[in-house]
């Protein structure tokens, strides 16, 4: 069970500006644009000349979260397609019978193959989470680049494209604290940009993919370019911008954007007064859901059942299911989950809202923590006078449900990249 699939989709979200990128994504509407006087689906790629050959460079928004890779691209009809893969890698196992998970082998230029690997939820039982930390630290792990490229292949498949060689432009989200503000605008910290240039730009890897039925396909992914941007602000752009680059709403002048991520709890205070340049201030106001909620649950499990070295991804699965496997037996841990929630969630919410009650602003709540703490966050909105009814026009806040709560930043990075290549960013 993934964080994305753990809760049914809601039907009432809050205020989403009509014709915004987010409006298109939630209602699975194709985005269409004018090209040479004709209305066509928004291009999924741009053409570029590379060594005398015209290449199709596919646009991909990529949010490399500490707990999972979130990705977005356009399908051929112009719809936003998203994908979520827990950041877990395992060596492929050999079994005599039964259906095996999707297996990847990296293929070298001489045709030889590396040992097979499983990724995501399929790797949970036999693997381990990828390293957490800053962007440079994660890119240095030898498992990370193959994992990243394999998740891109899974996204391409989900978007309906056939096997083959793909060149991509990545709009990659970096942590808010890895971005600094200058007179020229937001700038990526130099050590982060160096890591992206050295580890990811121009990377090209080939893979053999074996699906659950044993069918084999060959793939190659080449990263043509990497554009870095702040993760949380990208989600705001998805909500605020239309595909023509204009604002989707004139009603909202100020936004408090709370991103309850796995290892960061981030708050953006955004001034989007119509007719003025958008300005914002970023603050890291907490450690994120893994540190403040899931790891305390893992510690409680270890103490009660005498367990050691519980992987974060496994602890998250137990937390979401409300049951764990201990000594070969399945045990109900809902009571322990409730104890940890009662102890931890009040301080998480207090940190998110401390010092900035901004009663005149619109609240946007997103990230995996929204799924884990939905009722508590709704209660907090009620405490702030934001009790939301179906008849409210406009609604007083936006609490993104799954799967959108966790993939919004990736889709926003795609939207920003789309506007940039079409010359509409600003």
pLDDT band at 11 (very low <50, low <70, confident <90, very high): very low
Residue 191 DSSP SS3: helix
Which residue in this structure is represented by tokens 């609490």? Answer: 399
> What pLDDT shows up at residue 4?
46
Which tens digit of pLDDT belongs to each residue from 171-210?
999 887 787 766 666 778 888 888 888 889 899 999 999 9
At residue 124, what are phi and psi to the nearest 5 degrees? -60, -45
Joined together, the tokens standing for residue 239 give: 């909500």
∠ Cα 341 122 413 (to 5°): 70
Beta bridge partners of 173: 229
Q: How many residues does the chain have?
A: 426
Is residue 140's pLDDT more than 90? Answer: no
Is residue 5's pLDDT more than 60? Answer: no
Superfamily of domain 21-234+405-421: ATPase, nucleotide binding domain (3.30.420.40)
Which tens digit of pLDDT belongs to each residue from 278-296?
988 888 888 889 999 999 9
Question: Measured in whole angstroms, how far is the alpha carbon of residue 57 from the centre of its chain?
Answer: 21
Contact (CB, 8 A) for 21 and 194: no
Q: How many helices (H) and strands (E) does the chain have?
A: 12, 22
Which tens digit of pLDDT belongs to each residue from 288-346?
899 999 999 999 999 999 998 888 888 988 998 999 989 889 999 999 999 999 999 99
- Residue 41: count of CB within 10 angstroms of its CB: 16
The full set of domain ranges for the chain reads 21-234+405-421
What residues contact 205, with CB distance under 8 A and at least 6 apart? 106, 145, 146, 149, 220, 221
Which tens digit of pLDDT belongs to each residue from 34-62?
888 899 999 999 999 998 999 999 999 99
C-alpha–C-alpha distance, residues 171 and 23, integer Å = 21
At residue 335, what are phi and psi to the nearest 5 degrees? -65, -40
C-alpha–C-alpha distance, residues 315 and 325, integer Å = 11
Give the chain's largest Cα–Cα span.
68
Q: Are strands 88-91 and 53-64 parallel, antiparallel or unpaired?
A: unpaired
What single-letter DSSP state applies at residue 120?
G
Radius of gyration of the chain (CA): 22
Of 222, 218, 197, which is closest to residue 208 (Cα–Cα)? 218
Please report which helix (H) or strand (E) contains residue 357, including its range: none
Q: Which of 105-109, 159-163, 279-283, 352-356 has the highest mean pLDDT?
A: 159-163
| pTM, two decimal places | 0.92
pLDDT band at 1 (very low <50, low <70, confident <90, very high): very low
> What pLDDT shows up at residue 418?
97
Joined together, the tokens standing for residue 64 give: 């490399």
In the chain, the N- to C-terminal Cα span, in Å, equals: 39
Beta-sheet strands, E only, within 242-354: 254-260, 265-271, 279-286, 323-326, 329-332
Joined together, the tokens standing for residue 373 give: 């703490």
C-alpha–C-alpha distance, residues 23 and 75, integer Å = 17
pLDDT band at 408 (very low <50, low <70, confident <90, very high): very high
Contact (CB, 8 A) for 14 and 388: yes
- What average pLDDT does the chain have? 88
Of 424, 417, 425, which is closest to residue 44 (Cα–Cα)? 417
Joined together, the tokens standing for residue 124 give: 């949970």
User: Higher confidence at residue 396 or residue 412?
Assistant: 412
Beta-sheet strands, E only, within 67-113: 68-74, 80-86, 88-91, 103-107
């Amino acid at each position: 069970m993934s964080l994305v699939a753990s809760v049914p989709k809601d039907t009432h979200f809050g205020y989403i500006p009509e014709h915004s990128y987010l409006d298109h994504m939630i209602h699975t509407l194709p985005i269409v644009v004018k090209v040479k006087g004709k209305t066509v689906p928004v291009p999924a790629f741009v053409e570029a000349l590379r060594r005398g050959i015209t290449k199709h460079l596919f646009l991909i928004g990529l949010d490399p979260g500490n707990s999972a890779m979130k990705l977005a691209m356009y399908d051929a009809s112009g719809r936003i397609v998203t994908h979520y893969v827990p950041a877990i890698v395992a060596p492929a196992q050999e079994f005599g019978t039964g259906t095996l998970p999707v297996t990847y082998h990296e293929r070298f230029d001489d045709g030889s193959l590396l040992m097979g690997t499983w990724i995501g939820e399929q790797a949970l039982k036999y693997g381990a989470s990828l390293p957490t930390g800053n962007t440079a630290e994660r890119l240095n792990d030898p498992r990370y680049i193959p994992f990243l490229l394999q998740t891109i292949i899974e996204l391409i498949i989900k978007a309906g494209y056939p096997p083959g060689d793909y060149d991509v432009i990545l709009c990659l989200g970096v942590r808010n604290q890895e971005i600094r503000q200058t007179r020229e605008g937001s700038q990526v910290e130099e050590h982060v940009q160096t890591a992206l240039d050295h580890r990811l730009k121009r990377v090209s890897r080939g893979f053999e993919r074996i699906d659950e039925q044993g069918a084999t396909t060959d793939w190659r992914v080449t990263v043509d370019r990497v554009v870095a941007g702040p993760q949380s602000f990208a989600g705001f752009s998805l909500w605020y911008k239309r595909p023509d680059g204009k604002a989707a709403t004139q009603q909202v002048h100020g936004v408090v954007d709370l991103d309850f991520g796995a290892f960061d709890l981030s708050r953006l205070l955004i001034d989007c007064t119509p007719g003025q340049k958008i300005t914002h201030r970023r603050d890291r106001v907490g450690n994120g859901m893994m540190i403040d909620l899931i790891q305390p649950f893992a510690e409680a499990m270890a103490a009660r059942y005498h367990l050691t070295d519980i992987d974060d991804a496994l602890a998250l699965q137990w937390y979401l299911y409300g049951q764990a496997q201990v000594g070969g037996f399945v045990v109900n841990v809902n009571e322990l989950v409730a104890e940890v929630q009662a102890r931890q969630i009040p301080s998480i919410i207090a940190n998110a809202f401390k010092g900035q009650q901004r009663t005149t602003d619109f609240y946007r709540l997103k990230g995996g923590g929204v799924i884990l703490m939905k009722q508590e966050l709704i209660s907090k909105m009620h405490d702030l006078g934001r009790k939301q009814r179906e008849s409210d026009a406009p609604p007083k806040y936006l609490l993104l449900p799954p799967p959108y709560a966790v993939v919004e930043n990736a889709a926003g990075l795609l939207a920003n990249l789309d506007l940039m290549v079409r010359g509409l960013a600003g």
